[in-house]
Homo-oligomer: A and B are copies of this chain.
Amino acid sequence: MDNERFERGMEMLARVDGEQGDRVMEALGDVAPDLARLMVEYGFGDVYSRPGLSLKERELITIAALAAKGGCEPQLKVHLHGAMNVGWTREEIVETFLQISVYAGFPAALNAVFAAKAVFAERGSGED
């Protein structure tokens, strides 16, 4: 067991992804609980918790990476919530994907923008 890393990771996951993170953990729970645990321990307990970059910078890196890589729309949506939870605005997120068009082409930018459109709609008009 590695309770300290897991607990630090769960706190970070809650802080970044909020209830979206809970849903991923729950969905993994019956089929791959160890993957859920390792993702929390490594991704959130080890990496997100490090100093050296702010949480806001880390989320920018994450949504840029997922948009450029492609094929990760479910994870991109979770982290679009995360990006907004840590302070990025809708305008900045769309601007990020505009920048992605230069390096990964328009289809990657469009897929990311349509993921953002869905997340913005989920969050409604009053909340960022």
CB-defined interface of A85-97 with B at 8 Å, one 1/0 digit per residue?
0000001101111
- Top 3 nearest A-B pairs (CB, nearest first) are A65-B68, A52-B95, A72-B107
A99 to B60 alpha-carbon distance, docked (Å): 11
Contact partner of A104 among B95, B98, B105, B120, CB < 8 A?
A: B105
SS class of chain A's interface: helix, strand, loop or mixed? helix
Number of A residues near B (Cβ < 8 Å) is: 62
A104 to B102 alpha-carbon distance, docked (Å): 9
Contact across chains for A28 and B110 when beta carbons are under 8 A apart: yes
Q: A47-B98, A53-B92 are in contact. Are A28 and B108 (CB under 8 A)?
A: no
Contact across chains for A31 and B113 when beta carbons are under 8 A apart: yes
